[in-house]
Chains A and B, each alone.
Chain A
Amino acid sequence: EAGVVQSPRYKIIEKKQPVAFWCNPISGHNTLYWYLQNLGQGPELLIRYENEEAVDDSQLPKDRFSAERLKGVDSTLKIQPAELGDSAVYLCASSLGGTGGEQYFGPGTRLTVT
Chain B
Amino acid sequence: QQPVQSPQAVILREGEDAVINCSSSKALYSVHWYRQKHGEAPVFLMILLKGGEQKGHDKISASFNEKKQQSSLYLTASQLSYSGTYFCGTEMLGYALNFGKGTSLLVTP
Interface residues of A (CB under 8 A from B): 4, 33, 40-45, 48, 56, 91, 99-108
Which residues on A sit within 8 Å (CB–CB) of B2?
Answer: 42
Residues of A within 8 A of B99 (CB): 42-44
Overall SS of chain B's interface: loop
Write the nearest CB–CB distance from A74 to chain B, whole angstroms: 18
In the complex, are the beta carbons of A99 and B30 less than 8 A apart? yes
Contact with A along B69-109 (1 / 0, CB 8 A): 00000000000000000010101011111011110000000
B34, B43, B96, B102: the one within 8 Å of A48 (CB): B96
User: Measured between C-beta atoms, what is the minimum distance from A100 to chain B in Å?
Assistant: 5
Q: Are B49 and A42 in contact (CB under 8 A)?
A: no
Rounded to whole angstroms, the CA-CA distance of A107 and B43 in the bound complex is: 10
List 8 additional contacts besides A91-B41, A105-B34; criterion CB under 8 Å: A45-B97, A56-B95, A99-B29, A99-B94, A100-B30, A100-B49, A106-B41, A107-B41
A102, closest chain B residue (CB):
B44
Q: Can you report 6 A-B residue pairs in the complex whose CB atoms are below 8 A from each other?
A: A40-B102, A42-B87, A42-B101, A56-B95, A102-B44, A105-B34
> What does DSSP make chain A's interface, helix, strand, loop or mixed?
loop
Decide if B47 is an interface residue (CB 8 Å cutoff): yes
Candidates A41, A56, A91, A108; contact of B102 at CB < 8 Å = A41
Q: A91-B41, A105-B42, A108-B41 are in contact. Are A43 and B29 (CB under 8 A)?
A: no
Task: For the complex formed, measure the closest distance between the CB of B87 and the CB atoms of chain A, giving whole angstroms.
Answer: 5
Q: B87 to A103, Cβ gap below 8 A?
A: no
- Let me know if A45 and B41 touch, CB within 8 A: no
Residues from chain A with Cβ under 8 Å of B97 in the complex: 45, 103
Q: Is B58 interfacial (CB-CB < 8 Å)? A: no
B79 to chain A, nearest CB (A): 22
How distant is the Cα of A107 from the Cα of B39 in the complex, in angstroms?
A: 8
Contact B32 A102 (CB under 8 A): yes
* Cα(A45)–Cα(B95), bound, Å: 11
A26 to B90, CA, bound (A): 23
> Residues of B contacting A41 with CB < 8 Å?
101-102
